[in-house]
């Protein structure tokens, strides 16, 4: 049984190291705190993709009684360790993402115009902000053709779970 416990401790230790490394990238003052606005980016860099509502819920859980605009590592670590151990907020499988883009591409062209995608992403479901849309388009739009070849974009988005 000691082998199983050692293996479990090694897994937890590795998860905590990954969390610390991701957190440290945004700890610009090296004081074990980050701006609360960076938390979503940190969580996504760890392979978790919560909705905005789920992200807000996580932040509420992490923050002290009084929100200061900063998140302390010692509060972030246990919450994020639990999220990663439970494998919560996993990315949408590549096939589902591709199917979603294909549904938007009613003419089966194999691509979407930036304006089309912007309309869908800012007016439906949980709408993207202009900043999020600009960020997405900067990565998604083919610079030569000025369209989104979504098969290429989806394969670029796919999260490699082996890391």
Q: Where are the domains of the chain?
A: 1-86, 94-157
Q: What is the value of pTM for the model shown?
A: 0.63
* CATH level 2 (architecture), domain 1-86: Orthogonal Bundle (1.10)
Question: Which range is least confidently modeled, 34-38, 64-68, 93-97, 151-155?
Answer: 64-68
CATH number for the domain whose boundaries are 94-157: 1.10.238.10
Q: What is the DSSP letter of 112?
A: B
Please tell me the distance from the alpha carbon of residue 126 to that of residue 122, in angstroms, as a whole number.
8
Pairing assessment for the beta strands 33-35 and 70-72 based on DSSP bridges: antiparallel
Which tens digit of pLDDT belongs to each residue from 29-65? 999 999 999 999 899 888 888 888 899 999 998 886 6
């Amino acid at each position: 049984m000691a082998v199983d416990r050692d293996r479990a401790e090694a897994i937890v230790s590795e998860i905590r190291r990954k969390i610390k490394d991701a957190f440290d990238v945004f700890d610009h003052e090296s004081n074990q705190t980050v701006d609360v606005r960076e938390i979503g980016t940190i969580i996504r860099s760890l392979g978790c993709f919560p909705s905005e509502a789920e992200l807000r819920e996580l932040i509420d859980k992490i923050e002290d009684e009084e929100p200061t605009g900063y998140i302390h590592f010692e509060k972030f670590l246990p919450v994020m360790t639990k999220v990663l151990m439970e494998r919560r907020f996993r990315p949408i499988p590549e096939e589902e993402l591709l199917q979603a883009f294909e549904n938007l591409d009613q003419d089966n062209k194999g691509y979407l115009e930036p304006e089309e995608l912007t309309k869908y992403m800012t007016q439906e479901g949980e709408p993207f902000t202009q900043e999020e849309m600009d960020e997405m388009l900067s990565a998604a739009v083919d610079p030569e053709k000025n369209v989104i070849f979504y098969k290429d974009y989806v394969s670029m988005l796919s999260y490699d779970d082996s890391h």
